[in-house]
Amino acid sequence: MTIHLAGDSTVAPGPLDGSGVIGWGGVLQEFVDEPVVNRAFGGATTDSFVAQGNWQATIDAVEVGDVVVIQFGHNDQKDADLEADGRYTENLGRFVAEVRERGGSPVLATSVERLLRDDGGAVSVSHGSYPRAVRRLGRRLDVPVIELTAFTRWLYEWLGTEAGPLLFPHGKPDRSPEEARDTTHFGLAGARAVAGFVAQNLRAIRGQDDDHEPLGLWVMQQ
């Protein structure tokens, strides 16, 4: 079985030495035993992923039993032709259907949240209705959804003021982190945090943890 990844820069590969930004897909191999094929790229939308041939390459490589994790939205929301409940959802639905036609298992993921805070310090919602569209599609098509929007929002709030320097250590191009921190693209620690969550979800989706002793059982053993 192979895990295929389709997505944008928040999924895409990057340097493994911590020298630059990297998507969670760039380190997923550290958390799974199966081979990972990552065709995500920076700036990708559900349209451009098809137009540049990455989706066809993904589908051509899918074999029976493979898993395809699909996460878009960061750039789709910037394109007026890719409305959340319109073409964006239609494209994702097409992806799901084509994976199933090949005998693979599609898995949708909501977008990782940007780290933007309001005047009160709370994490702002930055993807509008796009995560909701993914959730609705997952329910309608009976496709598992990995909830990365909710997870990353929780992670940022839990880490508090440490979230920025730890998960987003890099500045925007030609600026230092102190001048303008890139709070969309992870550094190595941020990518690993999300990749570990994705890997655990994939285990749960495939039923690999069903027979394990509950992790919280020790609490009740007094």
CATH number of the domain encompassing residue 129: 3.40.50.1110
For 166, the domain range is 3-220
Question: Which pLDDT score is estimated for 218?
Answer: 52
- Residue 107's H or E segment, with its range, is strand 105-109
Question: Which pLDDT score is estimated for 210?
Answer: 80
Question: Which pLDDT score is estimated for 70?
Answer: 99
Instruction: Give, as one character, the DSSP assignment of residue 67.
Output: E
Residue 157, pLDDT above cutoff 60 = yes
Question: Does the pTM of the predicted model rise above 0.95?
Answer: no
pLDDT digits 0-9 by tens, 179-206: 578 999 999 999 999 999 999 999 999 9
Residue 62: CB partners within 8 Å, gap ≥ 6? 2, 4, 68, 99, 102, 103, 104
pLDDT digits 0-9 by tens, 14-73: 999 999 999 999 999 999 999 999 999 999 999 999 999 999 999 999 999 999 999 999
Number of domains in the chain: 1
Alpha-carbon gap, residue 147 to 112, rounded angstroms? 9
Confidence band for 220, pLDDT divided at 50, 70 and 90 = very low
